[in-house]
Amino acid sequence: MTVSLVGAGPGDPGLVTVRGLELVRGCDVLVYDRLVADELVEEAPADALRVAREPLSQETINELLVAYGRAGLEVVRLKGGDPFVFGRGGEEALALAEAGVPFEVVPGVSSLAAVPAAAGIPLTHRGLSSRVTVLAGHDATLDYRRLAETPGTLVVFMGLGRLDEIARGLVSNGKDPQTPAAVIASGTLPGQQIVTAPLAHVAEAAAGLESPALVVVGEVVSLQPVLRSAAAIPAIDRASGTLAASSPAR
Ligand SMILES: C[S@@+](CC[C@H](N)C(=O)[O-])C[C@H]1O[C@@H](n2cnc3c(N)ncnc32)[C@H](O)[C@@H]1O
């Protein structure tokens, strides 16, 4: 195998897979995303070539993967979360396939479920939610009417910058303004912050949080206070104005 598209997990370096870590430890070239933990980058051999994804364009990254792969080097493309969940892993895999370069995809722990889980929010729960809808917050074509009608849990990636617009879009199309909502910033990391509030107030409550952040909307968020305290995860509950005892995520 020459090129491996490896999921690094949602942030905490302990959440990489055994296979992923094995490949990082044996690579000649490591091309890594901004959100990948420094600890994982350090796991590459001392003499491995390290290439930061930013500020390179996606086209340049594709070309580099193809060129290093053709040269027969062991290349690891280390990506945040799972390579195929909002990670452009599909584009890189297509570039490699079209160039005839053999590659492997090593799935990662996506922030999709891991970040809510670490914050005390199960995406599904018997009696509360049996459906999960996932979307990119920067998608300009969001159909708020359909989203407002869709039962279950809504998970929004890359939605922090448009949270006000998204929440208003849902509420103005019939979603109950009291629907529990949460924003989790830097999930699974020591700086993790969790804000919960009714949907109508969540954007205001989340003001000041920074990316990366995941938004969860749905009744499952109502379990968070109980599951959070059981897991001793730090949280700011802006709806009630209480600041929970702060402790590192790990
Ligand atoms: C380009 S997407 C990459 C997603 C990644 N491939 C995955 O499977 O988790 C980046 C977005 O994922 C979410 N995200 C990733 N890591 C996160 C974290 N540790 N805490 C909160 N949200 C995170 C945020 O919405 C962020 O803007």
How many angstroms is it from 218 CA to the middle of ligand 1?
19
Would you say the CB of residue 4 lies under 6 angstroms from ligand 1? no
Would you say the CB of residue 82 lies under 6 angstroms from ligand 1? yes
Give Cα 133 distance to the centre of its chain: 15
The sheet that has 49-52: what strands, in order across it?
49-52, 29-32, 75-79, 3-7, 103-106
The preferred substitution site among 134, 209, 214, 215 for testing ligand 1, maximizing ligand atoms within 8 Å of CB, is 214
Give the span between the Cα atoms of 99 and 228, in whole angstroms: 47
Contact 155, 215 (CB under 8 A): yes
The predicted pLDDT at position 108 comes to 98
Paired strand residues for 3: 75, 103
The predicted pLDDT at position 230 comes to 66
Would you say the CB of residue 213 lies under 6 angstroms from ligand 1? yes
Question: Amino acid identity of 65?
Answer: L
Query: Which residue has its alpha carbon closest to ligand 1 atom 16?
Result: 10
Token pair listed for 169: 């879009």
The predicted pLDDT at position 228 comes to 83
Token pair listed for 103: 């590659």
- For the CA atoms of 236, 190, 153, 9, the dihedral, rounded to the nearest 10 degrees, stands at 170
Q: Which SS3 state, helix, strand or coil, does residue 115 take?
A: helix
The predicted pLDDT at position 233 comes to 46
Mean pLDDT by 10 residues, the chain (250 residues): 94 98 98 96 98 93 98 98 97 98 98 97 98 95 96 98 97 98 97 97 97 98 89 47 37
The predicted pLDDT at position 203 comes to 98
Between the CA of residue 7 and those of 115, 149, 204, 222, what are the distances in Å?
15, 33, 33, 30
